[in-house]
Amino acid sequence: MSVDSTSESRPTPPLASSIGSARAVAEVEPGGLAALVRDPSARAPRSPFQLAMLRLRRAKLAIAGMVVIALLALGAIFADYIAPYGADEQDLFNITQPATREHWLGTDELGRDELSRLLYGGRISLLVGVSAALLSTAVGLLVGAIAGYYGGWIDQLLMRFVDLMLAFPAIFLLLIVFSMRGSSVLMVVLFLGFFGWMWLARIIRGEFLSLKAREFVEAAHSIGVPGRRIIVRHLLPNVVAPIIVTTTLNTAYYMLAEATLSFLGFGVPPGTPTWGNMLTSARSNYVTHPLLAIAPGLTLTIAVLAINFVGDGLRDAFDPRGGR
């Protein structure tokens, strides 16, 4: 039986040889071409922020707090459409009446609907809490960032100023100013914001002192990046977590502070619907009509608890090592 010798000695084409050897390398060697081809089913690595949001979604109390805050905020924003009566609308035939079909939470000593004032009061209470928290965050962030980044005598000067502010009897200044010029929503926000930034400044200063010794900051210095750009582009993104957590928790604290000042007569002017003013108005009738005090007090308690739950959830999400 004869065999065609020309078919046995026929050379393999160069292209086929290279494809075959590449396929062999990809199949045999783990680090071959197969390792260079991205698996379409592989998931891209998550960023630290995405991991924090994933942990936050698992915090049931934080999610419940967000829902409660959203409902309270929507009720306050759309009070003009939801409230059955106006904030100052009076029913002189039903003064200090218990809960009825027309007035679900009763009326106060001036015949004003308690439920309507509760909805309108959420506007001022939430506005004061959020505005004062944002103001204190801005001041604390500015002072802490400058002290932590530049250090030296600037750090010493700013930290001694922080110590002075912490030791200053702010409540006496508040009493003097409000007794001389009267109170207003703006005055309450400014007072709470400018006397509540010191702890955040210390936190930001400590974070900046730690971060400015890292390699990426030294590399930015070595190539001549301006200090302001380093603070804004490289350092601030690394302290977002404590800023968010502190601002959230401060919102609840300032809402309680506003209610306390209003109850003492040094907060939002009387007559303005806030939860603190409603508690003040209910002092003369809380024995005979306890619902006038229970409704705003319970609403304020629920709001503060919800915000604290969200703050705790954010803290555990951004810093899982400190979580329970």
- Higher-confidence residue of 127 and 322: namely 127
The residue type at 147: A
Q: How far is CA 237 from the centre of its chain?
A: 15
The band of 297, judged by pLDDT with boundaries at 50, 70 and 90, is very high
pLDDT, position 6: 45
Q: Which has the closest alpha carbon to 149: 200, 199, 213?
A: 213
pLDDT, position 317: 84
Give 97's Cβ-side CA count (13 Å radius).
18
Q: What is the CATH number of the domain that holds 169?
A: 1.10.3720.10
pLDDT, position 189: 93
Please check whether residue 195 lies inside any domain of the structure: yes
Q: 157-170, pLDDT tens digit by residue?
A: 999 999 999 888 88
Please check whether residue 235 lies inside any domain of the structure: yes
With beta carbons less than 8 A apart as the criterion, state whether 321 and 259 touch: no
Strand ranges for the chain from DSSP E: none
Please check whether residue 315 lies inside any domain of the structure: yes
φ and ψ at residue 289, rounded to 5 degrees? -130, 75
Provide mean pLDDT across the span 264-292.
Answer: 85
Q: 219-237, pLDDT tens digit by residue?
A: 888 888 888 888 888 888 8
The band of 32, judged by pLDDT with boundaries at 50, 70 and 90, is very low
Please check whether residue 13 lies inside any domain of the structure: no
Q: What angle do CA 260, 254, 168 make, to 5 degrees?
A: 80
Please check whether residue 299 lies inside any domain of the structure: yes
Total domain count, the chain: 1
Please check whether residue 21 lies inside any domain of the structure: no
**Token pair of 51 as six digits:** 């991991």
pLDDT(119) > 90? yes
Least-confidence region, from 8-22, 83-97, 175-189, 197-211: 8-22
pLDDT, position 16: 46
3-state SS string over 278-295? HHHHHHHCCCCCCHHHHH
Collapse the DSSP code of 195 into the 3-class scheme (helix H, G, I; strand E, B; otherwise coil) and give the result. coil
pLDDT, position 19: 45
Please check whether residue 262 lies inside any domain of the structure: yes
The residue type at 313: G
pLDDT, position 271: 82
Q: Which has the closest alpha carbon to 299: 124, 61, 57, 102?
A: 124
Q: Which has the closest alpha carbon to 33: 43, 42, 44, 24?
A: 24
Percent of the chain with pLDDT over 90: 37
pLDDT(312) > 70? yes
Collapse the DSSP code of 213 into the 3-class scheme (helix H, G, I; strand E, B; otherwise coil) and give the result. coil
Please check whether residue 50 lies inside any domain of the structure: no
Host domain of residue 72: 55-322
Q: 33-75, pLDDT tens digit by residue?
A: 444 455 555 566 777 777 878 888 888 999 999 999 999 999 9
